[in-house]
Amino acid sequence: MKKAVWCLVVLLVVMTPLVWADGLQVVIGVIQEKENNAITVNGHIYYPVNENMTLEEFSVGDKVKILYGSNPSGQRYYHAIVKPEESLPTMEVVPPA
């Protein structure tokens, strides 16, 4: 029994970064709500991947393109937000702090 629990713990520790590395997606939509540095687009809330990210240049009603990842519990974290005609930056996946 102890061996099975230990194996499960090791699997969780090893697999969690792989879930993050695998899951970046892009969505295009209109900002429905904006509170602090979190926004709602297409009914989903997107949080900043780090506290240094700001949304000063965007307002409610703006159309945006979002590069985001989800944590294992389903919360979405944006890595970049640009206007739809702009290109998203190439970046390394960093899980939120």
pLDDT tens profile 3-39: 665 555 554 554 444 444 457 899 999 999 999 889 9
Compute the residue count for the chain. Answer: 97
Residue 47 in any domain: the answer is yes
User: What number of helices (H) and strands (E) belong to the chain?
Assistant: 1, 5
Spatial separation of the C-alpha atoms in residues 89 and 97, rounded to whole Å: 21
Residue 5 in any domain: the answer is no
What are the pLDDT digits (tens) for 48-57?
988 888 898 9
Domain residue limits at 71: 24-89
Residue 13 in any domain: the answer is no
pTM of the entire predicted model: 0.67
User: Domain count of the chain?
Assistant: 1
Report residue 7 as tokens. 């194996």
Residue 12 in any domain: the answer is no
